[in-house]
Amino acid sequence: MTTGPTYEIAIIGGGIMGCATALRVAAGGMSAIVLDQGDLGQGASGVNAGTLSLQIKRVKLMPYALKGHHCWEEMGDTVGFAKTGGYTLAFNAREAEMLHERQTLKSNAGAPIEFVSNNQLRAAEPNLTHKVEAASFCPEDGYANSSLTGQYYRGKLRDAGIPYREGCAVTAIDQGDGFTLTTPQGPIRANRILLAAGAWLKPLAALLDVDLPVNARVNTVSVTERLQPLMSSVIGHATGLLTMKQKANGTVLIGGGWQGRGTPQDGRGTVDADTVRPNLALAQYAVPALSAARVTRSWTGFEANVPDFYPLAGALPGVPDAFVLGCVRGGYTIGPYISQLMGDHILGREPEMPLFDPGRDFEKDTI
């Protein structure tokens, strides 16, 4: 019935992880194809706030985040990378205590985080509020432009001769003598598959009768019109409820994990004004001059996670030659690096750092 080539691997999901793994396995000599239900890099990879901050990474993921930062630095201008340094702020005693406790642990894990005085902070960021109780600084922090993810990986896949199909949702997966994927653009055959569909991993794995306990957070990001320079580094908040940076073009990007509505299965998420408003208020509290800036857009992206908030990276339980990669907390930062590890694993090589068994018990912290 089927025609066309049989690929050594079909990768379902054309975000950072799907595309970067494709590049890694192809560099190792494996023939790959990347499929995405929409356009490349239009899911979480392309709509997140682009923050590259070691200060908000999980302690046990710090070695991966440090490697991730190097990947982004190498991608450089093509992804709008900027290493600006970043400040995390506490506005009261309770937050200051939390900041000290958490940043000390992250510093011990290898992130070059230091605590700074109010005078240092004001000299560096004169437009910040004076109501700061404590602040930490990490010179490694910065951002990249997540909007450029699709453009970047389209070019990389083309240069590497890796085919990709956009608007190509996989609706069924048949096993037996490899995999046959049903898509609107005809069947696609492959000897292996990698599921890298982000928040859509759960329905995708269900096609193989595997129940992955994937949940989706609906993170909201807002952006202003172009403004005069107001801040030169990434600004965060001890609670994680604010991330903010001013891009080279003058726009200010405001995030912090405030929750919108909707589920991946329903299609796209919806911004909830009741959560956007406190997010904007917190941004204005940190930088009062933002008050007059016009907000031009707010949007949401689905951030996938499992109950222990560690990645899924390894063999799909119970399905030989099927792999899964996703649910990486800090996935934008760590994505390009963990995809290299995943690619090496698929190629049968020993990865430089351990992967995260998707078959583990998610209720126990066994990582």
Partner 1 sequence: MSDLNDIAVVGAGPAGGNAALVAAQSGARVVMLDEQPAPGGQVWRGKTASILLAPVTPETTAGNGLRSALSESAATHLADTRVWDILRNGDHWSLQILRNGATEQITCRSLILATGAREYVQPIPGWTTPGVIGLAGATSLFKQTLSLPGKRTVVSGTGPLVFFVASEIRRLGGEVAAVITPNTRADWARATPSMIGQPKLLARGALWMADLILARVPILWGHAVSEVEGRDHVTGIKTINLKRGVAGLSFATDSLCLGNGLIAQIEAAQMLGAAIRYDPSLGGWVPVADPDGATKVDGLYLCGDGCGIRGAAAAALQGTLAGARAARDLGFSAPSPPVRPWQRAERFGRAMTALSIPHADAHALTTQDTIVCRCESLSRRDISTEITTGATSTNAVKSGKRAGMGPCGGKYCQTAIAALIAEQTDKSTSDVPPPTPRPPLRPVPLGQAAGDFDYDDLPIPKPAPL
Residues between 81 and 100 with contacts to partner 1, criterion CB under 8 A = 91-92, 98
Residues between 31 and 50 with contacts to partner 1, criterion CB under 8 A = 38-42, 46
Q: Which two tokens stand for residue 215?
A: 């949940």
- Give the binding-site size for partner 1 (rule: CB under 8 A): 58
Residues between 190 and 229 with contacts to partner 1, criterion CB under 8 A = 223-225
52 lies in the site for partner 1, by CB under 8 A:
no
In whole angstroms, how far apart are CA 286 and each of 144, 231, 257? Answer: 22, 11, 17
Q: Cα separation of 38 and 43, whole Å?
A: 8
Q: Cα separation of 194 and 265, whole Å?
A: 20
311 lies in the site for partner 1, by CB under 8 A:
no
Terminal Cα distance for the chain, rounded? 44
Binding span for partner 1 by CB under 8 A among 53-61, 113-121, 196-204, 339-347: 53-61
The CB-of-313 to partner 1 minimum distance in angstroms stands at 17
281 lies in the site for partner 1, by CB under 8 A:
yes
Please report where in the chains the tokens 């019109």 appear, as a residue. 225
The CB-of-211 to partner 1 minimum distance in angstroms stands at 22
297 lies in the site for partner 1, by CB under 8 A:
yes
Pairing of strands 134-138, 86-90: antiparallel
CA dihedral 38, 44, 46, 50 (to 10 degrees): 180
By C-alpha distance, which of 60, 236, 268 is closest to 143? 236
362 lies in the site for partner 1, by CB under 8 A:
no
The contact mask relative to partner 1 for 233-272 (x = CB under 8 A, - = no) is ------xxx-------x-------x---x------x-xxx
The CB-of-196 to partner 1 minimum distance in angstroms stands at 19
**Residues in contact with 262: Cβ distance below 8 Å, sequence separation at least 6, in sequence order:** 218, 268, 269, 270, 300
Q: Cα separation of 139 and 298, whole Å?
A: 28
Q: Which is nearer to partner 1, 207 or 241 (CB)?
A: 241
Q: Cα separation of 195 and 323, whole Å?
A: 6
Binding span for partner 1 by CB under 8 A among 20-28, 56-64, 338-346, 348-356: 56-64
DSSP 352-365: SS--B-TTS-TTS-
Residues between 113 and 152 with contacts to partner 1, criterion CB under 8 A = 147-151
Binding span for partner 1 by CB under 8 A among 71-79, 116-124, 178-186, 296-304: 296-304
Pairing of strands 114-116, 134-138: antiparallel
Q: Cα separation of 196 and 20, whole Å?
A: 10
329 lies in the site for partner 1, by CB under 8 A:
yes
Binding span for partner 1 by CB under 8 A among 5-13, 185-193, 208-216, 278-286: 278-286
> Which of 90, 280, 312, 325 contacts partner 1 by CB under 8 A?
280
Q: Which two tokens stand for residue 339?
A: 């995809």
Q: Cα separation of 230 and 218, whole Å?
A: 28
Binding site for partner 1 (CB under 8 A): 38-42, 46, 56, 58-59, 91-92, 98, 102, 105, 147-151, 154-155, 158, 166, 223-225, 239-241, 249, 257, 261, 268, 270-273, 276-278, 280-285, 290-299, 309, 329
